[in-house]
Amino acid sequence: MIAENNSGGRAKGTGATIIRYRGVVKRYGAFTALDGVFLNVHAGEVVCLIGPSGSGKSTLLRCTNGLESIEGGDIEFEGTMLPRDERALRAVRQRMGMVFQSFELFPHLTAQQNVSEGPRTVLQMNQADANQRAAALLDKVGLADKAPNYPSALSGGQQQRVAIARALAMNPDVMLFDEPTSALDPETIGEVLSVMKKLADEGMTMVVVTHEMSFARRVGDWVAVFDAGRIVEQGPPRQIFDAPTTERTRDFLSHLGWSG
């Protein structure tokens, strides 16, 4: 009984539902990557997706902003079904920021230009305003002094913080994070997580795929455990980490060496 009844016990679950996944099915040829996913994301909430490799967490994120199409079920964003048409999808994508495991900064643009690129090309903002916004966001992620640097002259943690600023520059309603710290050195993970924590504290709605269990526990309002394309358990972090109700969750957490 995973479907729909996931509103109880949510810390900040009073906001409206921003994303609603209803029986989402995604196939790659004969392989079913998502096998009926039900999940609600409420305004202002941090929802963490955890689970073993290959269980479909990234796939769900990519379906959320239409980078992948789905074969079954539906995804509702701010009360409207995700469109299929490219132009309408672009409008939706502007409302969702996305941060990737491999940063994906544009190497031919400086940090500042990376952040102003979205406002410039997508929002058609003038150069001065876009630069101002970029400068403010770089300052917010603690990189004001790196504005003129190209990505090749930034550390991994710095690149990821620029990537967060780039996503924020579109003024999104939701931020999607796909393992934002998995490619980082242990020393720089903290700087990225603290930027994310700050965003969460400001009330940003966030969907975060992560292997950082301590982050999910501390910052997450809701945790969904994936296995083989399904959510096998979801609930507040207390439940998932201290009193998991399914064998799968217990297996996954003990595999990670999580001791509660």
Q: Which chain residues interact with ligand ATP by CB under 6 A?
A: 28, 31, 33, 53-59, 226
CA nearest 40: which of 89, 66, 74, 70? 74
Nearer to another protein, 118 or 236 (CB): 118
Nearer to another protein, 92 or 135 (CB): 92
Nearer to another protein, 11 or 122 (CB): 122
- In the complex, what is the shortest distance from the CB of residue 48 to ligand ATP, in angstroms, rounded to a whole number? 13
Nearer to Mg ion, 56 or 236 (CB): 56
| Residue 108 binds another protein, judged by CB under 8 A | yes
Of these partners, Mg ion, another protein, ligand ATP, none, which one is at the site of residue 100 (CB under 5 to 8 Å by kind)? another protein
- In the complex, what is the shortest distance from the CB of residue 142 to ligand ATP, in angstroms, rounded to a whole number? 27
Nearer to another protein, 164 or 223 (CB): 164
Contact status, residue 213 vs residue 207, Cβ threshold 8 Å:
no
- Contacts with another protein by CB under 8 A: the residue count is 30
Which residue of 20, 57, 166, 217 would you call a contact of another protein, by CB under 8 A? 166
- Residue whose pair of structure tokens reads 């924020």 in the numeric block: 168
Q: Which residue is nearest to Mg ion (CB)?
A: 58
Residues lying near another protein in the complex (CB under 8 A) are found at 62, 65, 67, 86, 90-91, 93-94, 96-98, 100, 102, 104-108, 117-118, 121-122, 150-153, 163, 166-167, 170
